[in-house]
Amino acid sequence: MVEPKTENRKPKIIFLGPPGSGKGTQGNRIAKEFNLDFISIGDILREEIKKESELGKKVRSYVESGALVPDELILELIRNRVDNVDNSEYEGFILDGFPRTVEQANGLKEITEIDKVIYLKCDTETIVKRLSARRICPKCARVYNLVTNLPQEDELCNDCGVKLEHRVDDCESVIRDRIKVYETHTLPLLDFYQSQLRVINADSDIEEVYCTAKNNCK
Ligand SMILES: [Zn+2]
């Protein structure tokens, strides 16, 4: 049940968390439950490229040359989406995958005011354990986890029966590097959002994290 609101402003929430914290999954699920627009930057960029919009063409040129998509471009896409939320049925939004730097956070501030920042805090060893247990079906790309989301038969895809693969990205040394990069960029954001910040322990089991994160989004 969504509690009645005392004001009309739609809640604007950011989800932060290292790779393997489950932030995308949790954010998506909570957004559905509270009728919030789940704004994933990765998805937005892919959609724009697919639509072949003017912005999409620009995005494609960066992605294809292997360059980072500039902040101004991403901010423009977010602005469009956020403006839509205000005129939609959605009760607010959850932003996932942005901002990643304080500079981006300053840009976002120009567009909209953020009410809550949910940080899914995760121990490095937990992340390494979770991500190194990931397996992917080479045929249908379904993702499994040998700890939390087992296939029915030993390392075979439930749908295809194909032997699951371990991606290079999910190897321990690569995971540790990704966590380090994440921390360097993101930890200063926690200071930036000090007054809106809610830190959630994301080491525990998925359902427990879900309940805690959900209560903090209310
Ligand atoms: Zn499969």
How many angstroms separate the alpha carbon of residue 165 from the centre of ligand 1?
Answer: 10
**What pLDDT, on the 0 to 100 scale, is given for residue 2?**
54
Q: What percent of the chain has pLDDT over 70?
A: 96
Per-residue pLDDT of 43-52, as tens digits, reads 899 899 999 9
How many angstroms separate the alpha carbon of residue 166 from the centre of ligand 1?
Answer: 14
What pLDDT band is residue 143 in, cutting at 50, 70 and 90?
confident
**What pLDDT, on the 0 to 100 scale, is given for residue 5?**
47
Residues designated as active site: 23, 100, 134, 167, 178
Tell me the CA distances in angstroms from 37 to 6, 56, 93, 142, one per residue in order.
20, 21, 4, 24
How many angstroms separate the alpha carbon of residue 132 from the centre of ligand 1?
Answer: 19
**What pLDDT, on the 0 to 100 scale, is given for residue 104?**
95
How many angstroms separate the alpha carbon of residue 139 from the centre of ligand 1?
Answer: 5
**What pLDDT, on the 0 to 100 scale, is given for residue 124?**
93
How many angstroms separate the alpha carbon of residue 154 from the centre of ligand 1?
Answer: 13
Domain ranges of the chain: 12-122+184-217
Q: Is there a contact between 92 and 118 (Cβ–Cβ < 8 Å)?
A: no
Question: Torsion angle of alpha carbons 16, 19, 23, 28, nearest 10°?
Answer: 120
How many angstroms separate the alpha carbon of residue 136 from the centre of ligand 1?
Answer: 8
Q: What is the mean pLDDT of residues 174-196?
A: 92
Supply φ then ψ for residue 95, to 5 degrees: -100, 130
Closest of 134, 152, 127 to residue 17, by C-alpha: 127
How many angstroms separate the alpha carbon of residue 149 from the centre of ligand 1?
Answer: 14
Q: Is the pTM of this model over 0.75?
A: yes
Per-residue pLDDT of 3-13, as tens digits, reads 554 455 789 99
Which H or E element spans position 216?
helix 206-217
**What pLDDT, on the 0 to 100 scale, is given for residue 61?**
92
12-122+184-217 has which fold?
Rossmann fold (3.40.50)
